[in-house]
Structure 1
Amino acid sequence: MATAREPEYRDGHGFIAEVIRTRRSKTADIRVEDGAVSVVVPLNTPAEKIDQLLVTKRRWIKEKIALQQEATPVRAKRYVSGEAFSYLGRNYRLKVEAGNFAPVKLVNGRLVVTVPGGAQQPHVIRNALVRWYKRQAEQKLLEKVTRYAPMVGAHPAGVGVRSFKSRWGSCTAKGAVEFNWQIMMAPTRMVDYVVVHELCHLIRHDHSQAFWREVERVMPDYQQCREWLRENAAKLVFESP
């Protein structure tokens, strides 16, 4: 079994870019999602070439980040130490430290973010947290799909994590299930419901009574979960600084 690579980051001077190395990529591809920048490159691309690409595309990247920040409602979050962030229904306090950019860590009940400039760069802190939530989503949702798929009797072609504006998950035409990473802010039981819901769509592609019977067979309390998500959806939004 291949070992997971350590997260790799490059300083874009105003943003931090996550480097994703893959054998499947022949050329470099820059992505800006939820204000977070990533660069997908062939496996052995030198760091110097990545830095050069970021310099070349810097204006485009900054424009993309600005547009995404404008599209996200401005709320109360300031991304400073002491603020609370929900993860699987439990609140964790943010601790911001100044230093070389490092992946977010959950330590002693605190979300520790280390970025150059510390609290002086709230958008960089937000982007670091977004990356952390997405990584947790990739791991936890795969675990939950593996657990519930045999109960549902469904066999998804794959499991993905995406950014959705108004839904918690979906099924692709190829039979894969995809989930909104922001569901990781909800309590665990709500995450379970979303997983079961999408797996049941692999059997029933509508919201007929037969579909809901499939959901109820695995989760008798699904109606309470559905109602909780309906009432609390507005709170499960990753706010802009």
Structure 2
Amino acid sequence: MAAFLLRRKPAPLPDHVLIEIAGETRKIHLRRNARAKRYLLRVPADEREAVLTVPAGGSLETALDFARRQHGWLAARLSERQAPVDFADGASIPFRGLDHRIRLSGKLRGLVERTDCVDGWELRVPGDAVHLPRKLTDWLKKEARHDLEAAVARHAANIPRKPSAITIRDTRSRWGSCAANGRLSFSWRLVLAPPSVLDYVAAHEVAHLMEMNHGPRFWTLCRRLAPQTEDARQWLKEHGARLHAYG
């Protein structure tokens, strides 16, 4: 009992620390987690700054030492992160795997229009510049729903179980999910990727309607539904994080 009473709480952590990485001063956010068993350094898919998880009894000194020892790994991960690209007039974004230039259409009302111009594809957005980000995001979400509903229907036709609903969100940690009740959820950002990648993610979640795991039978079914599975997984591994930089 005496030992318990004398046990002191760990010192509070600052919100972040600054360390030198590849000649640049970088911010690393610190997060204490009572359930964490070890120090964990990661760069979230939608961020350009690192997050260091510190276990309940961890110290700032040990956290700094751990971060510095991961210098090479962290430099490589941060170099892969693309700078944020706002939805604004003149910006370039991918749409169904092809680069498109965002332009104000000059019209007061109407829908976003996809146009093939001499120097490439354009997405022409009506209204004022201040409303452009919202209008373009809403349009991209509608296009994503259209593509994903079509892909899910196509793949679900090949299995006995059907999805109960499809939800489109801006998920950060996964591209899709399948609930036990058959509800499928997808990231709208998949519409920025090549169609074969979106198709694979749809097939992946449809396969979960039959196999709620990632065992051999699941992957056999997934590859039967989407023969491009391996190529699509590799594309997401190499380029998926960039999709979170847009908008």
- TM-score w.r.t. structure 1 length? 0.62
Q: Would you say the 8 A contact 1:152–1:214 is kept in 2? A: no
Could you tell me how far apart the structure 2 residues matched to 1:94 and 1:128 are? 12
Structure 2 stretches of 5 or more lacking a match? 1-45, 49-81
Tell me, yes or no, if structure 1 residue 220 matches structure 2 residue 220: no
Q: CA deviation at 1:100?
A: 3.0
1:110 to 110, 122, 127: 122
Opposite residue 216 of structure 1, the aligned amino acid is R
Indicate the residue corresponding to 1:126 in structure 2: 133
- Alignment length (residue pairs): 165
Q: CA deviation at 1:72?
A: 6.9
Indicate the residue corresponding to 1:207 in structure 2: 214
Secondary structure of the structure 1 residue equivalent to 2:112: strand
Secondary structure of the structure 2 residue equivalent to 1:226: helix
Q: CA deviation at 1:190?
A: 0.4
Could you tell me how far apart the structure 2 residues matched to 1:80 and 1:226 are? 30
Tell me, yes or no, if structure 1 residue 82 matches structure 2 residue 82: no
- Alpha-carbon displacement from aligned partner over 1:147-203 (angstroms, at most 9, x marks no partner): 111124431112221121111111123212111100111101001100000000010
Identical-residue share of aligned pairs (%): 28
Q: Would you say the 8 A contact 2:83–2:245 is kept in 1? A: no
Could you tell me how far apart the structure 2 residues matched to 1:137 and 1:239 are? 15
Tell me, yes or no, if structure 1 residue 147 matches structure 2 residue 159: no
1:239 to 219, 228, 246: 246
- Alpha-carbon displacement from aligned partner over 1:85-105 (angstroms, at most 9, x marks no partner): 211111111111455354322
Q: Would you say the 8 A contact 1:72–1:239 is kept in 2? A: no
Q: Would you say the 8 A contact 1:152–1:218 is kept in 2? A: no
Opposite residue 77 of structure 1, the aligned amino acid is V
Q: CA deviation at 1:239?
A: 3.0
Opposite residue 170 of structure 1, the aligned amino acid is S
Q: Would you say the 8 A contact 1:157–1:176 is kept in 2? A: yes
Counterparts in 2 of 1:126 and 1:75: CA distance versus 1, 3 Å: farther
Indicate the residue corresponding to 2:101 in structure 1: 93
2:174 to 159, 167, 171: 167
Q: CA deviation at 1:213?
A: 1.2
Could you tell me how far apart the structure 1 residues matched to 2:246 and 2:144 are? 18
Counterparts in 2 of 1:209 and 1:168: CA distance versus 1, 3 Å: same
Structure 1 stretches of 5 or more lacking a match? 1-70
Secondary structure of the structure 1 residue equivalent to 2:246: coil
Could you tell me how far apart the structure 1 residues matched to 2:144 and 2:91 are? 21
Counterparts in 2 of 1:151 and 1:98: CA distance versus 1, 3 Å: same
Q: CA deviation at 1:78?
A: 4.6
Could you tell me how far apart the structure 1 residues matched to 2:85 and 2:231 are? 29
Secondary structure of the structure 1 residue equivalent to 2:126: strand
- Alpha-carbon displacement from aligned partner over 1:192-220 (angstroms, at most 9, x marks no partner): 10000000001010111121111122223
Could you tell me how far apart the structure 2 residues matched to 1:182 and 1:195 are? 13
- TM-score w.r.t. structure 2 length? 0.60
Q: Would you say the 8 A contact 2:87–2:136 is kept in 1? A: no
> How large is the Cα RMSD of the aligned pairs?
2.3
Secondary structure of the structure 2 residue equivalent to 1:237: helix
